[in-house]
Amino acid sequence: MSEDLTGQQPAPAGPDPSPTGPDPYDNRRQVLYWRLLARLFDGEEQPALESASLGVVEDIGLPSALLDPGTSVDSVVQRHPELADEFDGLMTPDDDAAGSRDRAAEVRRAALVSKVLLNVFATGSSTVTAEQLARWQSDAGWLERALGGPPGGLRGGRAAG
C-alpha cells in the first residue's frame, strides 16, 4: 500500500532528510560519537568503528591522525596549521539566529571534538612518563580553548595573564 492516508501532499525534496531514510550526515556523526564512547569506556579498538571513522575523516578532508590516540593535538596542528582556528570555541554554542544547520560542519566538528575528548579523558591507567604528562597538559589546554575558556581555566581556575 503506497497510498497516502493523511490526505496531505508530500513535502518537496530539499536539504532536509526524508523521515523514512537515513541522513548521511547523522550517520557519519553517529559513527564518530560511537567510536568516542567505545574508546572512552574500553581502550580496545573496535575494528568496525575504527574503519568507518577513518572513512568519514578521509571523506571530509581531515587528517587520519585525528583518530590516533597517541598523537597529541599539538602534533596534528603542527602538521595541519589550518586546524588550529577550528579548535578555538569548538564546543561553544553557535549564535545561529536563523536556525539553519550546516550538517557537514557538524560532522567535521564531531571529528575534532572526539580528538580533544579522547586525548584528555582516555589516558589509560598505567604509569605516566613526564613526556606523557606534558602531552596531556597540552591537550587539556586545547580542550580549554575548545570550550571557549582561558588557558588554565579548567586546571586550577587561574588563567595565564
pLDDT of residue 87: 93
Residue 144 gets the label, from left (phi > 0), alpha (psi -120 to 50) or beta, of: alpha
Instruction: Print the SS3 string covering 57-88.
Output: HHHCCCCHHHHCCCCCHHHHHHHCHHHHHHHC
User: Residue 118's domain spans which residues?
Assistant: 24-93+102-146
pLDDT in tens, 114-136: 999 999 998 777 888 899 899 99
pLDDT of residue 147: 93
- Residue ranges, the chain, pLDDT below 50: 1-14, 159-161
pLDDT of residue 12: 44
- The answer to whether residue 46 is domain-embedded is yes
pLDDT of residue 149: 87
pLDDT of residue 161: 41
- The answer to whether residue 62 is domain-embedded is yes
Direct distance between the N- and C-terminal alpha carbons of the chain, in angstroms, rounded to an integer: 68
> How far is residue 73's CA from residue 110's CA, in Å, rounded to a whole number?
15
pLDDT of residue 69: 87
pLDDT of residue 98: 60
pLDDT of residue 160: 45
pLDDT of residue 15: 52
pLDDT of residue 16: 53
Number of domains in the chain: 1
Report residue 131 as a C-alpha cell. 613526556
